[in-house]
Structure 1
Amino acid sequence: MSAKTEAAGQVLTRAVKYDNEEKYAESLICYQEGIQLLLDALRSITGDGKRQKLRQKISEYMDRAEVIKQRVEQLKAAGSYHEQIHIENNSTGHSYERLFARFLDDDVGVVEVEDPYVRTPNQIYNLLRFCELAVKRCPNLGKVSLITGQESDRDTYQQHQRLEELAHSLGERGVKLAVQYSATLHDREIRVDNGWIIQIGRGLDIYKPTESKFAIGYCDYDLRKCHETTVDIFHKKNVKNGK
């Protein structure tokens, strides 16, 4: 078994697991990734029998992926899509890219973030990382809207200054950062104008600090340990026309 075939097997095992759990969006991503790995492996396989067997597997997975894709579209159209991800304490593999990238695409023009704790440097860095992902994945992004709480009087200026620096950087890429402050905000939610709504128990602040700036996981959030939290994902029809 080649390395690519083995890797495909691992990804497709996750796809089937998510499929059985009715986590269709996650399952579809894994099916697509696993199918691509099998197609890559097919190029290096010799022998008609082996190639035909692998083609058959690829065809079966592609058929199932298409069924799931249609199921997701049906649930979205009905406004009844719901997916839940439970992030366990000290678990890894939960970077923003893995959690959110599949909901960010060419159709996105506005992203709204409600999180009462985008205040400290670390929390603002979390927002920065999320904005980097949005800019990378959404070529038509025009606005990021943030509602958050305000730091104490002593640190208010630094909070504002850091957010203004982020706003300036986004502005250079044609994206406006609009910030509002609320003293009563408790919800933690990301809304995307392609219809996706993501509710996170801890908001963006799901990662534990590393032991030092030179420890594994400091730069790559897939390797960073997480706090326990739950992510709920919904899809709402006609979100562009109002909440």
Structure 2
Amino acid sequence: MKLEQRRHRPLRDKILISTYRNKCQSTVRKTDKMSGGGPEAAAVQVLTRAVQLDNEKKFAEALACYEQGIRLLLQAEKEVNDEGKRSHFRKKTKEYLSRAEAMKEAAAKQRTMGRTHKQIQVEAGATGYSYETIFGPLLDKTLSSVVVEDAYIRSTHQIYNFLHFCELLVLKAECLRSITLRTTRDPSGHGIQHERLSEIQQSLEKHSIKFTFIFSDTIHDREIRFDNGWIIKIGRGLDYFRKADGRFSLGWTEYHFRQCHQTTIDIFHQQSVE
């Protein structure tokens, strides 16, 4: 993306939000005519659109619709006398307020981080490059799906690394619903790789996360894609750590203390390549 285009992106985002606020208000007016002017019906219409935009990762637009929908819910609450219905409106308002806050953070992150391409050069023997350090800042409430393409999730330590990565996702991405791994089959043919990945699959199911693993012979790039827009390319994939000195040495369980192999990590957002 050209530098001039990047400079204008914050202005473009403001225009987008303003445009979608106007569209939401237009939707309200149309719904009013069809439903006799009830704010409840208008709120349903606008919030349905907000959720659709949310699912499409159009955070700035979704935020505008959430804000309009919340205002309509508050108005609807004031106009009803039934306490049960008022309680329902308050509950839904609280839920959508929480989601709107997440949208606000995500939209800000897209504006700030989406304009940069970050490259990290990891030197041989360096420490301090745990998965949490690299991936943690990219995990938020908008992340629901992760795709990992790595030809070498086969040996015991490589599968342990992948498990450690999954643990971080479960801890930090509270709305995560699916993880997909594309890797190559272990040439030994003993079935241990399949057995271990199946065990991870069963464990993730207990956290309501669907894990799918696919064996392919055509994988070339090592790439991790988050559906909140982040793409991470690591020269060595997830297998960039050296073996710990021993089972009772720092780095055995906490990867922050592990020495690394030399590699390059590229982190960018889909917006930065548009």
TM-score bin, normalised by smaller chain? 0.5 to 0.7
Cα distance 1:143–1:215, how it changes in 2: closer, same or farther (>3 A)? Answer: same
CA contact (8 A) 2:147 2:179 kept: yes
CA contact (8 A) 1:110 1:143 kept: yes
* Separation of aligned partners in 1, 2:131 and 2:213: 21
Match in the other structure for 1:216: 250
The DSSP-based 3-state class of the residue aligned with 1:100 is helix
Q: Tell me, which stretches of 5 or more residues in structure 2 are unaligned?
A: 1-106
The DSSP-based 3-state class of the residue aligned with 2:118 is strand
Match in the other structure for 1:45: none
> In percent, how many aligned pairs have the same letter?
43
Deviation, 1:173, is 0.2
Q: Normalized per residue, which structure has more helix?
A: 2
- RMSD (Å), alpha carbons: 2.3
Match in the other structure for 1:119: 154
* Separation of aligned partners in 2, 1:96 and 1:128: 11
Match in the other structure for 2:171: 136
* Separation of aligned partners in 2, 1:130 and 1:176: 15
Match in the other structure for 1:185: 219
Deviation, 1:75, is 5.9
Aligned residues between the structures = 168
Q: Which has the higher contact order (CA 8 A, sep 6+)?
A: 1
Match in the other structure for 1:106: 141
TM-score, normalised with respect to structure 1: 0.65
Cα distance 1:126–1:70, how it changes in 2: closer, same or farther (>3 A)? Answer: same
Q: Tell me, which stretches of 5 or more residues in structure 1 are unaligned?
A: 1-68
The DSSP-based 3-state class of the residue aligned with 1:154 is coil
CA contact (8 A) 1:195 1:238 kept: no
Match in the other structure for 2:16: none
Q: Which has the larger radius of gyration?
A: 2
Match in the other structure for 1:150: 185
Cα distance 1:71–1:160, how it changes in 2: closer, same or farther (>3 A)? Answer: closer
CA contact (8 A) 1:115 1:147 kept: yes
Deviation, 1:71, is 9.0
Which aligned runs of 4 or more in structure 1 are off by greater than 4 angstroms?
69-72
Deviation, 1:92, is 0.2
